[in-house]
Structure 1
């Protein structure tokens, strides 16, 4: 399945921002697998002096963003699991700024962060590969918005793509 196969009732609100940033080139599981390696290669080519750089006061560092991607992917995958299992409980949002503030990314090595990112993605990939078409189509409410399991998968990828673009535009140019 590809992002264009999502129906208009499968996602709403801010999720569209991320889903619209996913390429049509590969299927969901292919892109989950490919994009993690693309991202790691991209990050490994960033000059070392940029990892603790902030382009403005109060903005996140590149390390902060990597850990934010890890946290967000865990949350999105958890939501996908709950909805795939037909759990109808509305799930709350999360304040990513509070998470980043508490995460202490600056105390972690780049290699440690990238290793964790890869491990989390492998778990996410295993989850999505295990789901049936019926489970992928199930929907739930997260952050006061309806979203399907498969739309959450594309959200994970699009969220990563979004932050990679931010790196390029605000940290590397």
Structure 2
């Protein structure tokens, strides 16, 4: 299954900006595997002197951006799992800014963030491999809008591409 399999009724248009970043011909699991390599290579090569850099006082540091990717993956895989299991309970949104301060990302080493990311990503891949295409095509309610399990999953690799592009453009 690729992003070409997604239908417009499977996600709110807001998430299209992330889903559109994923290669149309790349299968879901492959997108996660490629993303794991790309994210670890990208964040693993950022010089220590730049890791806490903010391009403006009200913006996140590079470490905080990386933590945001990890936290968002956890949330969207939870959504994917619940929806894939046909849980019709509406899933709440989350305020990404509230998560940053308690994460203490700037106090973590890049090595610790990389290890945390790899553990989360390995879990995500394992979960995706356990779900059928029918499971992933299930549609639930996320943040007040319809969302399929596969759309929730495809947001993740697109979201990381989006943020790596922002880091390249504004931080490095």
TM-score tier by shorter-chain length is over 0.9
Equivalent pair of 1:135/1:149 in contact (CA under 8 Å): yes
Q: Which residue of 2 aligns with 1:4?
A: 4
Cα deviations by residue, 1:12-40 (Å, 9 ceiling, x for unpaired): 13211110111124210011011111111
Corresponding residue for residue 138 of structure 1: 138
Alpha-carbon distance in 1 for matches of 2:144, 2:71: 19
Q: Is the 8 A contact 1:13 1:145 kept in 2?
A: no
* Superimposed CA distance per residue, residues 112-137 of structure 1 (whole angstroms, 9 cap, x where no aligned partner): 00110011001001111110111010
Unaligned 5+ segments in structure 2 are: none
The 5 Å alignment of 1:1-173 reads 1-172=1-172
Q: Distance in 1 between matches of 2:102 and 2:146?
A: 28
TM-score by length of 2: 0.97
Runs of 4+ in 1 over 2 A off after TM superposition: none
2-structure distance, mates of 1:165, 1:124: 22
CA offset digits 1:65-119 (Å, max 9, x no partner): 1111111100000011111111000011000000012211011000000110011
